[in-house]
């Protein structure tokens, strides 16, 4: 198994029936993305990741998943409430100037005049556009509008430059 970074994608909520099915809560933008994954990772009691191979996924009111070699509720009891992860290389390729949230959290935020105002601590999904939560000498909420409020993002430099207007 690869030692690449794991990305949180879902939480196992509950059993679904008696034959090894689980109900999943997705953190993915679109739950249908789950259908392209053939395996997930879960952290065991020793905080090591184990790979779970997907047997089948069903989408209806909820996402239901069945893993290979698990055929009863009892076998899966230890996984209820646990999180599912994927590896970086399982993520979709993004277009230019598109980023995953996890890439933005922790980046330093600067104004156009190079004054540092803080670090991205969280991102809030609002429906119309996401909002960056920046922790500095106080908390700032900056709308994530690339090209408008967000002037530049450099993952290499671990830096975001924002339009001064959104800071004042």
Instruction: Delimit the domains of the chain by residue range.
Output: 6-90, 101-166
Q: Over the stretch 103-129, which tens digit does the pLDDT of each residue have? A: 898 999 999 999 999 999 988 888 788
Residue with tokens 């790979």: 51
Q: How far apart are CA 31 and CA 10, in angstroms?
A: 10
pLDDT tens track for 20-78: 899 998 877 676 777 788 899 998 777 789 999 999 998 888 889 999 998 888 988 98
Length of the chain: 168
CA-CA distances (angstroms) from residue 146 to 95, 125, 149? 13, 15, 6
Mean per-residue pLDDT, 71-86: 89
Which CATH fold would you assign to the domain 6-90? Elongation Factor Tu (Ef-tu); domain 3 (2.40.30)
CB atoms within 10 A of CB 82: 15
> Which of 108, 93, 88, 94 has the alpha carbon at shortest distance from 153?
108
CA–CA distance, 52 with 34 (Å, rounded to integer): 14
Superfamily of segment(s) 101-166:
PRC-barrel domain (2.30.30.240)
pLDDT of residue 66: 94
Predicted structure pTM score: 0.64
């Amino acid at each position: 198994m690869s030692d690449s970074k794991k990305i949180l994608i879902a939480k196992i909520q509950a059993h679904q029936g008696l034959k090894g099915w689980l109900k999943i809560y997705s953190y993915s933008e679109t739950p249908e993305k789950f259908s392209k994954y053939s395996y997930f990772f879960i952290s065991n009691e020793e905080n090591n990741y184990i790979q779970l191979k997907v047997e089948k996924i069903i989408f209806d009111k909820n996402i239901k998943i069945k893993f290979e070699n698990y055929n009863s509720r009892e076998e899966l009891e230890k996984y209820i409430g646990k999180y599912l992860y994927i590896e970086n290389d399982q993520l979709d390729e993004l277009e230019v100037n598109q980023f995953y949230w996890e890439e933005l959290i922790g980046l330093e935020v600067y104004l156009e005049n190079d004054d540092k105002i803080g670090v991205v601590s969280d991102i809030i999904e609002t429906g119309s556009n996401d909002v960056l939560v920046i922790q500095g000498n106080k908390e700032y909420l900056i709308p994530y509008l690339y090209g408008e409020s967000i002037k530049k993002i450099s993952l290499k430099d671990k830096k975001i430059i924002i339009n001064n207007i959104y800071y004042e």
